[in-house]
Amino acid sequence: MRFLLAGIFLFASWPFLLAQNPSVGPDRVGPKQDRKQQMLNGSIYCVANLNACVADEIALGGGRVVIPPGVSISLTSTLTLGNSNGVPLALVIERGGQVVINVPGGVPAIQISKGGSLSCPQSGYHQVAESGRVPSILMGPSANITDLIVNAIKDGTQGTANIDGCFMFNPGGSTGTHSGAAVHWVSLSENTRARDTIIEGFHNVDILIENRAGIFSSSYFLDNVIANTSGLAGGVPLRIQSHPTGSPASIRVNGGQYVHPGRGLPNIDCEGARSAGVNAPYLLTIEGAYVEASFPNNVGLKIRDCHDVNVTGLVGAGGGGDLVNVGQNGAGLTYNIQMNGIYNANWTNWFNDTINSKMYAGAASIPCANFTVTLTICTQTVGTGTSTSNGTIIHAGTSQAQPAINVTGATTTDVAVCALNASPPATWQTGIQLLAPVVTANTVTPWLSNPTAGNITPAAAVIRCTVIR
């Protein structure tokens, strides 16, 4: 029993023992062989001097640097994860651990290089609803940075700069400043992903995806990301932009929320900068995203000089201006915009076509729309129903209303198409015609016409009508 209790004490007391072990120094856990014995998993658990912890791990061939629960480390110089040789280095900020950004000098705070990644297990989405949540990365009062997180190598040779589960927060009372983006991806070439990540309180741009001159990149994934610029001046939750001779492509937004941009700015912004073809952003896919306005002149999704954009499920709330705004800075630069399942709660316009000066106002649920050079609303079936015709005489040169069909949801602006359910009876083949039906609220009324010179009594037959809009 005494041995068991002693073992429990040693395991429970590892942070204290590490801090007091003279062989490891006051700032960081010591050599890899020691931490293997003490941590059992080959990871370095860092309690201070994060740059030194990362440098040690890279020098030993790479691995994981872990910030454990309850440890807050102030970062005072740019931290680079990985290196140009691709040494693997994962920074893991465990739930309750924290990095406070106090980097001066107008430089990036964290650079993810080849082999580098950042993850915050059980921090991002899992902690949002809890009181006293602890941000994984917090802007400090002494910060003066460009980007919060950016990839280190921007010449197209770096593949990824992944971020998983992190909560990045800039408190309203912070005196720290930043001039760039919270997350900045530049000319990455392989399946870069941000997942279950929250970015809150940063002005300028939360997420910026772009390219350097003459470089093309592809395959960016944003999975269940919350980007909230809190209505701050200059705040854009997501921007995708091209260089005149290089552009990001194949960007996929899966779910998530892109909310509260600054006054007059978009929630999601695709900017082609007068570029065409492969030099403009293309293959942007948005599935199930939510946008919310802070001001009545916000734009939910702004598309300028971008092409081949597919939106499946976009919900707009908060009372902005245009839920979708499409335009171009030169002929033929914006095209192939497909939209399915657009829900406008209370934005002024659900679609503003600035190219053709057409505005589609009012709250609406739009099942399908396509924009090539103009907008085409896809056909929606409201409902269908049948009735049996009167079977009574229709005098020469007259028309006759037939029994009404109830179609729930039909309005006077809808269109109905009617046809017989079977082959026309012989008495119909002597000249009876189906006229355009009349649609009123929840009702369709078929009409029959006898344009001949003699009276006809068409046999009773089943008429089926479908209402579309």
Q: Which of 356, 377, 398 is the C-terminal boundary of a domain?
A: 377
Q: Which of 377, 411, 441 is the C-terminal boundary of a domain?
A: 377
370, 395: one domain: no
The pLDDT tens digits of the residues spanning 405-430 come to: 999 999 998 899 999 999 999 999 99
396, 340: one domain: no
pLDDT for residue 375:
81
Sign of CA dihedral 36, 41, 47, 51: positive
DSSP bridge pairs for 353: 326, 358
Name the stretches of the chain with pLDDT < 50: 1-40, 124-131
207, 347: one domain: yes
Read off the tokens for 230. 């809190």
Read off the tokens for 219. 């395959």
pLDDT for residue 174:
63
pLDDT for residue 133:
66
169, 258: one domain: yes
For residue 433, what is the enclosing H or E element? Answer: strand 433-434
Contact (Cβ atoms closer than 8 angstroms) between residue 390 and residue 401: no
Residue 98 to residue 122: CA distance in whole angstroms:
13
306, 258: one domain: yes
Q: Identify residue 271 by its one-letter amino acid code.
A: E
Residue 355 lies in a domain: yes
Residue with tokens 């293309």: 282
pLDDT for residue 122:
66
Residue 225 to residue 209: CA distance in whole angstroms:
14
Domain with residue 435: its CATH number is: 2.60.40
Domain with residue 219: its CATH number is: 2.160.20
117, 263: one domain: yes
SS3 content of the chain, % helix, strand, coil (to 5): 10, 45, 45
pLDDT for residue 36:
30
CA-based end-to-end distance of the chain? 78
Q: Characterize 97-128 residue by residue with b for buried, 16 or more Cβ atoms within 10 angstroms of its Cβ, and e for exposed.
A: bbbbbbbeeeebbbbbbbbbbbbbbebbbebe
Q: Which of 346, 362, 377 is the C-terminal boundary of a domain?
A: 377
Residue 7 lies in a domain: no
415, 372: one domain: no
Domain that holds residue 409: 381-468
372, 386: one domain: no
Number of CB atoms found within 10 A of residue 20's CB: 10
pLDDT for residue 215:
77
Domain count, the chain: 2
Residue 345 lies in a domain: yes
290, 164: one domain: yes
105 conformational bin, left if phi > 0, alpha if psi -120 to 50, beta if neither: left
Residue 37 lies in a domain: yes
422, 400: one domain: yes
Residue 323 lies in a domain: yes
139, 168: one domain: yes
Residue 6 lies in a domain: no
Residue 1 lies in a domain: no
DSSP sequence for 382-398:
EEEEEEE-----B-TTE
Residue 8 lies in a domain: no
329, 257: one domain: yes
